[in-house]
Each structure stands twice: as C-alpha cells, then as structure tokens.
Structure 1
Amino acid sequence: MRRRGMQQQQILLLRLLLVFVLLWALASPIISHTPTMTSSLPPTAAVSSLSEWRSARATYYAAADPRDAVGGACGYGDLVKAGYGMATVGLSESLFQRGQVCGACFELRCVEDLRWCIPGTSIILTATNFCAPNYGFPADGGGHCNPPNQHFVLPIEAFEKIAIWKAGNMPVQYRRIKCRKEGGIRFTIDGSSIFISVLISNVAGAGDIVAVKVKGSRTGWLPMGRNWGQNWHINADLKNQPLSFEVTATNGLTVTSYNVAPKDWNFGQTFEGKQFES
C-alpha cells in the first residue's frame, strides 16, 4: 500500500511538471526559424517601382553638348552608342551620392508653373552625370546644384518633353522607379597588363549597383573595387581565361553571368550578360 501511494505521488508530480511546461511554452514568445536577410545598404537601396513623389528643380543644357560624348561623371562613354540616348540626367551633389546612384532611373514631371508645363506629361531618365556645386553663388541664387538642393540637369531634348524651354529653372517632382532596359547587362573591359577596369552599363531593375565580383577559369570569385561611377577595377591576371561576373544591385538582388567573355577576350571589348527583372 505504501509503495502504491508513492507511485501515485510520482505520477501526480509528473503531471504537474507537464502542465507547468505547457503553460511556460504558451506564455513564451513565438520563435521563428525562418532565415532573415540583413543588409548594410543605404536607405536609398530600397527602390520600389513607384516610390513617392518629391520636390526638386530642373534646368537643361544645349543640344550637342560635349558631355554627351564622354558620358559624364558616370563614364558611360557616348550615351547614344551606349543605348541611353537623350533620356539622361545629371544630378546635384545631394542626389549623386559620389557616383553610387549612376544608372538609377527617375521619373520627372513639371509642376506648379502652368505657363510653361506641358500638362499630363512625365519623362523617365537614367542618371549618367554630376552637376557640380558652384559655391560662388548661394544655393537660392545661382548655385542650382549646391547642397542641399535637389536639382536635375537634362538635355534640352528631354526637358522639352515636360516643359517649354523658356521656363529655365523649373519646379518639378521626381521619384525613383525601376529601370527597364533592352538586352542584358553590358560589361566593357579595359585596362592593361594585370589591371582590369570594367564599365557596367544597361542595368535594369534598381539600375545602380553596389558590388561586383569577377571570376576567371583559373580563379575563384574576386571582389572588384569601385573606381568611379560604374567603373569597377581589380589588379589580377585574368588574360586567356573566360570571365564570369556577379553583380549586386542596391536592392540586394544579385545576377550572375557565367563565361560572359570568352577565353580570347581583349581590352576595349563589350560583352552582354544576364539581366535583372525590370
């Protein structure tokens, strides 16, 4: 009888312990085992297809300006040959982000001034150039691109799609949008000996990129450094090897293009890889 009583007490203790464990589990926060993606990208990296409209101002430059032949501060070269045409824009210092934003796409529309605006119109432009500040003038009196001004400089061909040219320095609204490009990402290889510079252009999706890696048939993946704009470089002997590229955009997405350049590639050549979804 005494043994049976001890067994009943043990069973009762076990039941109490199970009830305690169950209550503790219900009171505890739910722990998710779904992996999370962290990012050290800047706030502008969160590029949506329809970001909110913001206020800015815009001016234009004359047709056949020499900046169209050199591709401006982003280094895209001849913008027409590179496929950008006149749908391009130079950005003030507060927007340019030291070249990080090269390749990003913006939609602009004219606002407020009913004398000069063309109603119901907007234009989509790719960032290809930098509008340098002029500290000889105040930001509100001639220094259009001085901080903290949000300012856009367009080819006159683009400007006249949203406003009459006589408007001059126009109030506009702008927003970041996804880039839509024909064909794949283009890789133009330059350099000499073991120094390789790669211009990356025609990027869809976010448009601007934050990281690039290159791989030869005899190497692993090698990170490249930003030289300026969207020109990336590395000191490595990659001659006589087919080249692959891994490109990461500011929204965190990555596209890998394998064996883009054949084994017998040469400096000055351009090759086309895969593309981000637009």
Structure 2
Amino acid sequence: MAKFLMLCTTFAACLALAAADWSQGTATFYGGNDGSGTMGGACGYDNLYNAGYGVLNAALSQTLFNDGASCGQCYTITCDTSNSLWCKQGNTVTVSATNLCPPNYALPNGGWCGPGRPHFDMSQPAFEHIGVAQAGIVPILYQRVQCSRTGGVRFSFAGNNYFLLVNIQNLGGSGSVGAAWVKGDNTGWIQMSRNWGANWQALAGLCGQGLSFAVTSTGGQYIQFLNVIPYWWQFGMAFPTNQNFYY
C-alpha cells in the first residue's frame, strides 16, 4: 500500500510538472489565408521560406519578443478548450517567432499585445490548426520547445564597406542566437552585437575577405562555422551551411 501511495504521489507530481510547462496566453492571426502577409518583420528574416521558417510562424507580443532575443524560437500552441467554443479540440501547432506584435496604445492597456500580455499573432494557416478563424481571438496554452530545422544555419548579409550586418537564420535547437563572432581571412575573431531582431553587427571592414562565424545558441551550444563565406561575397547575398544546433 505504501509503495502504491508513493507511486501515485510521484505520478501526480509528474502530472503537475507537465501541466506547469504550459502557460496561458491568447492568439489572433494576420497575413491572409496563405500567410504571405507575414513575410519580413521585426526579426529581419525577409522571405520566410528562404530563411527556413515557412508559413507556420507568429509575431510575439512585446513581453515574449524580448527586444528580438526571441527571434527564431519555437512554441507549441494549443487552444484552451476550457475557455472557448472556437477551439479545434486536441490540435496543436508549432510556430517560429519571426515578428513583433507591438502594443496598440489607442486601445486600453496597449491591446492584446500590450505590456505584460503573452500573445501570439499567428499566421492564419497556423491559427487555423487550433482554432476557427471566425473567432478572431482564442485563449491558448503554450510552451517553448526545441526547433527542428531542415538544413544548416544561414547567414544573410547587409551593411556597407565599414559595417557588417548579418541576419543569422534557420537555427535548430533553442532556435535563437545568444552570441556571435566573425573572423576574416586577415583578422582574428571579432565579437558581434545584436543590432535589431536577428541581425548581428560588426564594426569592421571585411569586404574581399573569406569569412568564418562562431555562434552560441541561447541553449548554450557553441559552433564554429569555419570558412563558410567565400571572399567574393557581396551585400545582399545569403549563404547556407551544413551545420546546425540541437540545443
């Protein structure tokens, strides 16, 4: 009997832990029924198909977006059937964070994306996995999860001759960048800093040099991408790699 009670207690604790992994929030949708209106956005990914994210994406409220540090992270979302009749019961969808849903201060408390609100403005195709579009907004349960990506990390270039701006895309594992460095053929490792969204900058003139990158994911995994960019790279070009993160 004691063993049975202990097992029951352990099982109950596990259930409580699993339940605690889910947080409450709300979700709306934008971008049209093909998701084309979600391209671009505050992470700087531009064409989400080219960048590896596709149509199952979401703009995060200010609270979740974290000034762009959450760009690329993945969240599994389900409609909270206990609080809405507009849910598709038992369905979940995993989305990538690709944009910011800013507060609208014309509405009380900044609207659904106002300060302190965990809200996902999802692509319409993603929203329709879990809820009926006519609802407009549904209560949800969500949790951050590991990202599964196809192919390797991708580096997309912008800037000028004295300023390098690199959008770091398609991260697996934790999905987001915690730190980054760049190295030219004629330089040592140069620490980069986040400029905006998933764009990382180096105040250095690196044109005409082959480049290597080093990236630490927010999950703590460190990868060196050695000699992945040829010396003939130009601003506006993007280069895929064959390495990716698993945490």
What does residue 41 of structure 1 align with?
A: none
Distance in structure 1 (CA, Å) of the matches to 2:53 and 2:221: 23
Q: Secondary structure at the match of 1:159?
A: helix
Contact 2:163–2:204 (8 Å) recurs in 1: yes
Q: Is the 8 A contact 2:53 2:96 kept in 1?
A: yes
SS at match of 1:73: coil
Residue 56 of structure 1: aligned partner: 25
The separation in 1 between residues aligned to 2:205 and 2:105, in whole angstroms, is 44
Cα-to-partner distance string for 1:98-148 (whole Å, 9 max, x where unaligned): 111011100000012452111211000000111111222224xx7111111
How far is 1:200 from its partner?
0.4
2:89 match:
119
Of 74, 80, 83, which residue of structure 2 is paired with 1:105?
74
Q: Deviations over 1:37-63 (max 9, x none)?
A: xxxxxxxxxxxxx98110000011141
Q: Is it true that 1:202 corresponds to 2:170 in the alignment?
A: yes
Structure-2 separation of matches of 1:194 and 1:67: 33
Alpha carbon RMSD of aligned pairs, Å?
Answer: 1.8
Distance 1:183 1:162, change over 3 A: same
User: Normalising by the residue count of structure 2, what TM-score does the alignment of the two structures yield?
Assistant: 0.86
In structure 1, C-alpha distance between the alignment counterparts of 2:190 and 2:55, rounded to whole Å: 35
Task: State how many pairs are aligned.
Answer: 226
Which one of 49, 52, 55 corresponds to residue 86 of structure 1? 55
Whole-Å Cα distance in 2 between the matches of residues 120 and 200 of structure 1?
34
4+ aligned runs moved over 3 Å, structure 1: 64-67
Query: Which of residues 145, 158, 167 in structure 2 aligns to 1:177?
Result: 145
**Does 2:246 match 1:277?**
yes
Partner of 1:255: 223
**1:153 is aligned to 2:121:** yes
Q: Which residue of 2 aligns with 1:75?
A: 44
Structure 2 alignment gaps of length 5 or more:
1-18
Give 1:133's aligned residue.
Answer: 103
- Is the Cα–Cα contact under 8 Å of residues 57 and 170 in structure 1 kept in the other structure? yes
Question: Secondary structure at 1:161's aligned position in 2?
Answer: helix
Q: Is the 8 A contact 1:74 1:230 kept in 2?
A: yes
Separation in structure 2 between the aligned mates of residue 124 and residue 153 of structure 1, nearest angstrom = 13
Superposition TM-score, scaled by structure 1 size? 0.77
Structure with max Cα Rg: 1
**More strand per residue:** 2
For the residues of structure 1 that align with 2:205 and 2:176, how far apart are their CA atoms? 27
AA of the residue aligned to 1:148: G
Percent identical pairs in the alignment equals 42
Q: Contact 2:174/2:246 (CA < 8 Å) preserved in 1?
A: no
